[in-house]
Chains A and B, each alone.
Chain A
Amino acid sequence: MFESGTLGGVTDGKMPLIAKVATSVSKTAAALSRAAGRGDGSVIGGWIGLKIDPDLLTHLASGRAVALVSGTNGKTTTTRLTAAAVGVLGRVATNSFGANMPTGHTSALAKEGHTPFAVLEVDEHYLPEVIDATRPKVVALLNLSRDQLDRAKEVAMMAQLWKTKLAGHPEIKVVANSDDPMVVWAASGSPQTTWFSAGQRWLDDSFVCPESGHPIERAQGDWWCTGCPLRRPRPQWVVEDEGVIDPRGDWHLVKLQLPGRVNIGNAATALAVAAEFGVRPIEALPRLNRVASIAGRYAQVDRDGRNIRLLLAKNPASWLEAFDMADQAPTLLSINARDPDGLDTSWLYDVDFSPLRDRPVLITGDRAYDLAVRLQVNQVPFRHVQSFDEALRSVPPGRLEVIANYTAFQDIRAELDRVN
């Protein structure tokens, strides 16, 4: 039941012995973790491997064409879609469980053995470090907005970190969101940038220009700084209706199993990144259509006559997107504030919950009381339940939408046998 403890999985003969040993131990630890039911094994293996060989990620990445995907929202989904698209060309290693720090990257590359391609989701704080370690061909920058400010760097500081690192790597092809001023500024020092327009639903973190400190004006999808030359670049990839316009001006229908307009934007990004590897949209689109759920996100589970659909919402921008995707059906909201979620629940007041007034709402989670007070202020009737099972018993047969933040989502996913 364990993966092989030998060196058989890694075929790159140029890898130093220490890296081979580290890779092997890393894979074994990951398999042990999975076998013990302790998790996906997507972090522990990499952690041990990096303890043995601190340069293991560099060794594992060398010889592969790497794309990194980073931003506040949509990176797990976009990474999955990009890996599917690049898969047109050959095998792709990817961290599909959302383990997006160097330990997770190390585990993902070790597990897949040698592949010509790698598409890695990267936590925004770690992007500079992972650029150094993996020497990527392409870096995709999705968006930057507030996400757990009690521990995260402030939005403008994050953009500055990206900008400095990318300016030192002119060989990297940057694929960046033209609708987010913070992202555009971060990419502004890079000579090879392809712009995509996937929209920016969340505007509150970019009213002030990061370059000049002057207000940013917006009109009809365009934006510009009132005090310096920073403005929206003309995008080469644009979401239009249910499809995407490519740089040649051709419109492609994007048929996805994933819900919501936001995922069409994620698909556009995936197509733009894959194009840097030489993949044409027409080749990639059928593969995007086969993606049904990502580490439990958007997954549907039937239990006791209820069709449960799982939506992950981690921060204000992604809550708005979840309301957009959810059907008019009984909805369970679950909120925790553990370390991975951020310890602060203030963001609840950045979300307008009024779209939920017309459906039965249940609440649960470690921080259900914070949510209760928020919903009361928002005039959204709700019922507090102690557990997922109680929620399930409280709704009639049919669809139950579940919207939860990160660890609350994982708790519910565990109740549903770690559905993928």
Chain B
Amino acid sequence: MSTEALRIVWIYPDLLSTYGDRGNLLILARRAADRGIPAETYEVRSDQRMPHTADIYLIGGGEDGPQSLAAQRLIADGGLHQAVAQGAAVLAICAGYQLMGHSFFAKGAKCPGLGLLDITSDRGETRAVGELRGDIDPRLGLPALTGFENHGGRTHLGAHAAPLARVTAGIGNDGQTEGAWAGKILGTYSHGPALARNPAIADLLLRWATGADRLSPLDDTWADRLRNERLAAASPA
């Protein structure tokens, strides 16, 4: 493990921060600090160059206009592509998840995405709003996913992306699968501060970034109570 501080970047909070997305940055920083892992957080605005040397990148949800603007700027900038090629971890939420793919729809038009995940997104007939629950890909070794979804998109996975979870309540990508992952990139429709209900995903990102096989356990009494309450509240798909 490197002796340098872990670097965590929140991508374009000026564009993609629809609802509590800052939470994921705060939670990662807190869980690193509670274990004595030095970590630095950076909020990179859309008028700034995207650094390619950070360890974890977070990208959140947003409205159509800011989503397509963010995709244009990230493609033109190239920093995130370079970081991923160097092995950085990414957590992409909602609009941020869609724009990691080959294409997505915003304001009625098909927009090019970053192509970092083998997915394409279009519009569903109805908006997916409510509690979301799923069994996470066993290869990741994580407990059930719980979240709140609020999106009009439907996402289709190509051969080079695996579903993050199999849906047991809610819609996710299409009512069957939810989110996608490949390498160290995770995408999910579980919106906003998804890590609040899923601290194990936060720890997965920290393990990826530090190279550690395991991290010292934290007192997650309150997070566990929240998880149990929300998992029970989600009605079956």
Contact = CB atoms under 8 A, between A and B. Distances in A.
Interface of A: 146, 149-151, 154-156, 204, 207-208, 213, 215, 343-350, 369-370, 372-374, 376-379
Nearest to A382: B222
A346 B20 CA distance: 5
Contacts of A370: 196, 226
Contacts of B47: 215
B222 A151 contact: no
A128 to B, nearest CB: 20
A377 B23 contact: yes
Nearest to B66: A208
B196 to A, nearest CB: 5
A377 B20 contact: no
B170 to A, nearest CB: 12
Given A149-B18, A207-B15, A349 B196 contact: yes
B222 A346 contact: no
Nearest to B131: A343
24 contacts: A146-B19, A149-B19, A154-B63, A207-B14, A213-B65, A213-B69, A215-B14, A215-B46, A344-B19, A344-B150, A346-B19, A347-B19, A348-B20, A348-B23, A349-B21, A349-B193, A370-B196, A373-B223, A374-B23, A374-B196, A376-B223, A377-B23, A377-B27, A379-B30
Contacts of A155: 63
Which size bracket describes the interface of B in this complex?
20 to 34
Q: 3 tightest CB-CB pairs across the interface, nearest first? A: A346-B192, A349-B23, A346-B20
B154 interface: no
B180 to A, nearest CB: 21
A370 B150 CA distance: 18
A215 B222 CA distance: 39
Interface string B109-149: 00000000000000000000110000000000000000010
Given A348-B193, A372-B226, A377-B23, 4 more contacts: A204-B17, A215-B14, A349-B196, A373-B222
A5 to B, nearest CB: 42
A141 B234 CA distance: 38
Contacts of A376: 30, 222-223
A150 B69 CA distance: 23
A345 B196 CA distance: 11
A158 to B, nearest CB: 11
Contact of B18 (A146, A372, A373, A374): A146
Nearest to A156: B63
Contact of A208 (B15, B19, B20, B23): B15
Given A207-B15, A215-B14, A373-B222, A350 B69 contact: no
Contacts of A350: 19-20, 22
A116 B205 CA distance: 64
B192 A349 contact: yes
B229 interface: yes
Nearest to A213: B65
Interface string B4-23: 00000000001101111111
Interface centre among A154, A208, A347 (most CB of B within 10 A): A208
B63 A373 contact: no
B26 interface: yes
A377 B14 contact: no
A91 to B, nearest CB: 43
A227 B106 CA distance: 20
Contacts of A204: 17
B222 to A, nearest CB: 4
A213 B68 CA distance: 10
Contact of A346 (B14, B23, B66): B23
A355 to B, nearest CB: 16
Contacts of A373: 196-197, 222-223, 226
A204 B19 CA distance: 10
B148 A346 contact: yes
A350 B148 CA distance: 16
B66 A150 contact: no
A384 to B, nearest CB: 9
B166 interface: no
B110 to A, nearest CB: 17
Nearest to A384: B222
Contacts of B69: 208, 213
A151 B148 CA distance: 13
A195 B14 CA distance: 26
B65 A151 contact: no
Contacts of A207: 14-15
B26 A349 contact: yes
Contact of A377 (B21, B30, B150, B229): B30
B148 A208 contact: no
Contacts of A150: 129-130, 148, 150
B119 to A, nearest CB: 23
A346 B14 CA distance: 17
A361 B187 CA distance: 35
A87 B204 CA distance: 62
A132 B20 CA distance: 35
Contacts of B129: 150-151, 343
A203 B226 CA distance: 30
Interface in B56-112: 63, 65-66, 69
A148 to B, nearest CB: 10
Contacts of B23: 346, 348-349, 374, 377
